[in-house]
Amino acid sequence: LWWEVVGIAVVLFLLSWCQSRWLPGSQSGSPLSHSIRSVMQKYLEDRGEVTFEKIFSQKLGEAPALLKHLEEAKPLVEFYEEIKKYEKLETEEERLARSREVFDTYIMKELLACSHPFSKSATEHVQGHLVKRHVPPDLFQPYIEEICQNLRGDVFQKFIESDKFTRFCQWKNVELNIHLTMNDFSVHRIIGRGGFGEVYGCRKADTGKMYAMKCLDKKRIKMKQGETLALNERIMLSLVSTGDCPFIVCMSYAFHTPDKLSFILDLMNGGDLHYHLSQHGVFSEADMRFYAAEIILGLEHMHNRFVVYRDLKPANILLDEHGHVRISDLGLACDFSKKKPHASVGTHGYMAPEVLQKGVAYDSSADWFSLGCMLFKLLRGHSPFRQHKTKDKHEIDRMTLTMAVELPDSFSPELRSLLEGLLQRDVNRRLGCLGRGAPARPVADGCPCPVCSPKLLDSDQELYRNFPLTISERWQQEVAETVFDTINAETDRMEARKKTKNKQLGHEEDYALGKDCIMHGYMSKMGNPFLTQWQRRYFYLFPNRLEWLGEGEWKKELRDAYREAQQLVQRVPKMKNKPRSPVVELSKVPLVQRGSANGL
């Protein structure tokens, strides 16, 4: 009888193991989640990214995309969308008409119904401007702030617990796992050349968006000892490519191959100001004012990030297909947040006096002097310090340091005031510098260039180990403009069909919503240890447990079998000296074999 006792003990062990491991509510294993939602949520929480401000400020996290499915947020989101449409209008006539529509629909209607959820000061602010017919783009800014305030708290918490946050985590997971190569782009013709390489037009394969691909040859970089310049350009582009600034050629991606460094930049196909100056002659004062305004906004964007450009000239100002300008080529730009630069770099005829002087440090003040030189050239065809077509660099530098600029009488008083303010040699008196002086610094010496063509070593490749980069904001904008709505709409349709099917099959709708469920679906399982037939059940797999749906009958059979096995063990000592029946009769036929004549 010993083998029967051992067999029953094994059965009891298996029953207790199954009961402790698989029944709902059991706790075993580590609580660490392996789902994308849980992993990404923990990753974002560790970096302080799961806040309303952080998510709401991202291109993929704006209110219309995330909060529109919440009933309590829908009126606020619709109001927010209308305000954003108003802010994009260009003419005052369009803004005046749209502002009255927005006011009547979303403000006056709620006021008459005594259900206006916003402050009295915001209403008075908008009413006062409408009475005066003064409609600036930020007219509804007080309402934007109050809408954001109302969307915080319970509404945002419901979003965190919804499947829309899971969708947001999936997009962030895609963003953080981008590893681009040349195969991700369709490269077209050359559109420009430089000292280290060429610029090509290209199309990104997955979204179809057009870019400019700036390729720098690693061998040429090594031969000219330009590693620092190449890496510095990537750093400067990463600094200025965040935030909303349409007047700088921004970078979206950076990657490298064994032979090339590649920058993926905004595509500009309207030529540069130097080309248009040489082809069409000098610009009018009105045209110059237009370009100057956009260039100033681009410079302010850089200076707010503590970046001094140092190479402002017509050849570096590109035009897009709409005629707007952007500042390009940040190879000589420098971060002055921790230490001010003191090297004499730039183009002769545009460099500020403090840049030319040895041992003098400077900051963004140098760009304002260069702006004055460039505007003068757009109007007169030459730099103010390159008269009579002189090409002697030392003579140009001497004139920059000593000569007083004479402005033609044809310039208007406003233009004369602008150029005189920008071309002040004294930094404390220069327009745009706010009286900030520049202390003295030592000068860096240059390095000679090798003559022979270099061979790239592993140590050379190590320099570019951290070169690959994806600008989050730029990638999100590209996705939002191309495939975001299409993919989300298709996913919503698939999820709706899946929910409808599950509801028809009797499954609990949205049971795993807001939980750390890794996967769910159908799976075959054994009814109990005494059966050989498998049953098809719907399951939910969590990191620390497996839950079965509709398993009431199976659990009852399992408990009955467990109880009868215990009774058998208790009867073993009494049956030692008694003859045993060859077949053990169970009190009840198992569920899956009822109606069968075979039994056990």
Token pair recorded at residue 293: 């305004």
Is residue 311 part of the annotated active site? The answer reads: yes
3-state class percentages of the chain: helix first, strand second, coil last, to nearest 5: 50, 10, 40
Alpha-carbon gap, residue 472 to 484, rounded angstroms = 15
- Compute φ and ψ for 509, nearest 5 degrees: -70, 135
DSSP 106: I
The string over 111-140, giving b where at least 16 C-beta atoms fall within 10 Å of a residue's C-beta and e elsewhere, is eeeeebebeeebbebbeebeeeeebeeebb
The string over 480-502, giving b where at least 16 C-beta atoms fall within 10 Å of a residue's C-beta and e elsewhere, is beeebeeeeeeeeeeeeeeeeeb
Q: Please say whether the beta carbons of 371 and 302 come within 8 A.
A: no
Q: Please say whether the beta carbons of 385 and 467 come within 8 A.
A: no
Residue 542, SS3? strand
Residue tagged active-site, from 311, 329, 363, 397 = 311
Distances (CA, A) of 328 to 74, 188, 216, 459: 41, 20, 16, 30
Alpha-carbon gap, residue 24 to 388, rounded angstroms = 90
Q: Cβ–Cβ contacts within 10 Å for residue 567, how many?
A: 9
Q: Does residue 214 have a known ligand-binding role? A: yes
Those residues whose C-beta lies under 8 Å from the C-beta of residue 265, and which sit 6 or more positions away, are: 211, 212, 213, 214, 237, 249, 250, 251, 252, 328
Active site residues: 311
* Binding-site residue ranges: 214
Q: Which residues are annotated as a binding site for ATP?
A: 214
